[in-house]
Amino acid sequence: MSIRFKLLLSYIAMAAVPLVLVTAAMSFMVYMMGYQDMRDFFEKNRDKEYGQAVQFGELWYVLQHDSGKLLDDAYLKQIDSRMNEVRSGFVLEKDGAIAYSSSLALDSGQPEKLLSQKGNIRDPLTIGSFSYEVFHAGFTYPDGTPGKAAMFRLSEAIPVYLRPLITMLLLLAVGLMSAFMALIVSRSITRPLSRLKNAALSLKEGNLEPVPLPSGNNEIGQVGTAFEEMRSRLKLTIEQMQQYEENRKMLLSHISHDLKTPITAVRGYVEGMLDGVADTPEKQERYLRTVFRKAKDMDRLIDELFLYSKLDLHKEEFLFRRIDLKAFLRHYLEEKSFELEKSGILLSAHIGGGPSPMHAMADPEKLGRALDNMLDNSAKYMSLASSDERKVVLRLEAAAEAAEIIIEDTGPGIDEEALPFVFDRFYRAEMSRNPETGGSGLGLAIVRQIAEGHGGSVAARNRAEGGAAFMMRLPLETAGPKEAKP
């Protein structure tokens, strides 16, 4: 329930509940006065006023024109009975003394007080606990004796002392109801806000774990949901920052380790030349070639490190375009096979998928770099194989809405425990991939970054007949031909 709707309901309740209470109180009082319901109350009161007017008119006429009837006790009792039915009565005075008091006058307990006021106008009068309206009139008895009459009616059936009490009770009921509704509405708002405040303070103290928050479909519940999303994203961001910091420390550690060895070797060879150890042109040339090779390895390591860092931070731009993977691999093999043949490695290819082209959105340069790294990795370690045959097979196979590029070698394979980690940065499987071969530990990590940048994946496995196999899976382009924007 929304806060706006709650407030609307509270306002309606504050207006409607007092009305219901007043109606209920009035109905109770009407019932206590002997009426069946409000309709009966109004009908009888309308008839009563008419009856009062008729009786008052008759008595007024008798007072002014036929005062002799006032000496007839039967007539007085008759008109007293009729006036009592409409909650009215009269008092007659003769020679300064009360000559007759009607039943209602006697019930009031002070009939003489009804005659105490002078004049013939309508006067309000309170006797006991009830209010009356009194009409005074002077007349003359048939024998010439002056008389005075007081005609009255009960104006309020409710005792006077009950009116302020009922008013106070109604006001108290209205106040309590308003306070109750305000309490309910305020607690439904302040409690969730208090939870939000506690959650914010907890977050301020660095607690990123979930805390109780207001829920529901109202406005505060939506704020609570947004706060929880903010906390989750903040926690994820901080965890990523911590992971980046851990990666940075690990990166610096590996860089220091991988650069120290060639730098130490270069320094040793240079010191040997300066100390005259390389005293022949042949030794000097060998030392210089070694220094050149070590410098080249360091340059390659720095280049791979720079590329991996940009890929890892998503700052390396991919220039995607629609290419035919079959044509791309045929062209790539023409260039790469000659280079591998110089190292005594036979490179062959098996392009599957039928005669139709296999289109994919790819960055040819990055894709070529990934293939280079996988082929170089195979070439480096095939020298450790027991077989004299050094062979690499590149396969292209079609899968469900994807293409698989598989590179198989005849090397020593990969230790089973190392298979899940070969694409991690700086990882070297010591038992099967000798670090002395010069690997930086970044080549296959770069392959994974490039594959994931294409929306694909990589995996490694051991071949049953020996050697390792690396698989790169790339999504095929199923839409119509178009150029992708960088």
Percent of the chain topping pLDDT 70: 77
In a domain, residue 7? The reply is: no
Given the structure tokens 């008119």, which residue do they identify?
A: 57
Question: How many Cα atoms within 13 Å fall on the side-chain side of residue 236?
Answer: 6
The Cα–Cα gap between 439 and 450 comes to: 19
pLDDT greater than 50 at residue 240: yes
pLDDT greater than 60 at residue 44: no
Distances from the Cα of 137 to the Cα of 72, 125, 327, angstroms: 19, 16, 129
404 and 454 part of one domain: yes
343 and 391 part of one domain: yes
Q: Who's near 380: CB < 8 A, 6+ residues apart? A: 437, 438, 439
The Cα–Cα gap between 66 and 70 comes to: 8
Instruction: Identify the CA nearest to 29 among candidates 197, 170, 177, 192.
Output: 170
In a domain, residue 198? The reply is: no
The Cα–Cα gap between 395 and 404 comes to: 8
Residue pair 83/90 in contact (Cβ under 8 Å)? The answer is: yes
Helix (H, G, I), strand (E, B), or coil: what is residue 274? helix
Q: How many CB atoms within 10 Å of residue 101?
A: 22
Q: How many CB atoms within 10 Å of residue 18?
A: 17
What number of residues does the chain have? 486
Q: Which helix (H) or strand (E) covers residue 135, if one does?
A: strand 130-140
In a domain, residue 399? The reply is: yes
Listed residues 109, 132, 157: the one ending a domain:
157
pLDDT greater than 70 at residue 14: no
In a domain, residue 165? The reply is: no
264 and 334 part of one domain: no
* pLDDT of amino acid 458: 92
* pLDDT of amino acid 471: 92
* pLDDT of amino acid 429: 56
Answer with the residue of higher pLDDT: 126 or 360: 360
The Cα–Cα gap between 209 and 435 comes to: 42
Residue pair 102/91 in contact (Cβ under 8 Å)? The answer is: yes
In a domain, residue 428? The reply is: yes
Percent of the chain topping pLDDT 90: 6
Q: How many CB atoms within 10 Å of residue 439?
A: 20
Q: Which amino acid is at 236?
A: L
* pLDDT of amino acid 128: 61
* Mean pLDDT along residues 370-395: 80
Query: To 10 degrees, what angle do helices 219-274 and 162-204 make?
Result: 10
298 and 408 part of one domain: no
343 and 374 part of one domain: yes
* Mean pLDDT along residues 84-101: 86
* pLDDT of amino acid 474: 92
CATH code of the domain covering residue 147: 3.30.450
218 and 295 part of one domain: yes
DSSP 411: S
**H helix runs in 275-420, sequence order:** 281-312, 325-341, 364-381
44 and 151 part of one domain: yes
Answer with the residue of higher pLDDT: 485 or 359: 359
Give the tens place of pLDDT for each residue, 241-267. Answer: 887 777 677 767 767 766 777 788 888
340 and 311 part of one domain: no
In a domain, residue 348? The reply is: yes
Instruction: Identify the CA nearest to 423 among candidates 404, 409, 442.
Output: 442
Give the tens place of pLDDT for each residue, 306-348. Answer: 777 777 777 778 889 999 999 999 888 888 888 888 878 888 8
pLDDT greater than 50 at residue 482: no
CATH code of the domain covering residue 219: 1.10.287.130
pLDDT band at 34 (very low <50, low <70, confident <90, very high): low
Distances from the Cα of 389 to the Cα of 159, 165, 379, 386, angstroms: 122, 113, 12, 9
281 and 350 part of one domain: no
401 and 390 part of one domain: yes
Question: How many Cα atoms within 13 Å fall on the side-chain side of residue 75?
Answer: 12
CA-derived radius of gyration, the chain: 55
334 and 309 part of one domain: no
Residue pair 469/461 in contact (Cβ under 8 Å)? The answer is: yes
* pLDDT of amino acid 457: 92
Residue pair 325/358 in contact (Cβ under 8 Å)? The answer is: yes
Which residue segment(s) compose the domain that 247 sits in?
A: 213-316
Count of domains observed in the chain: 3
pLDDT greater than 70 at residue 383: no
* pLDDT of amino acid 431: 40
In a domain, residue 195? The reply is: no
Listed residues 157, 172, 194: the one ending a domain:
157
* Mean pLDDT along residues 39-50: 64
pLDDT greater than 80 at residue 165: no
Nearest-5° angle of CA 399, CA 405, CA 407?
135
Listed residues 255, 285, 316: the one ending a domain:
316
CATH code of the domain covering residue 363: 3.30.565.10
In a domain, residue 1? The reply is: no
Distances from the Cα of 47 to the Cα of 29, 314, 374, 408, 433, angstroms: 19, 95, 111, 114, 116
447 and 302 part of one domain: no
Residue pair 414/462 in contact (Cβ under 8 Å)? The answer is: yes
**What is the per-residue DSSP string for 20-54?**
HHHHHHHHHHHHHTT-SSHHHHHHHHHHHHHHHHH
* pLDDT of amino acid 481: 37
pLDDT greater than 50 at residue 24: yes
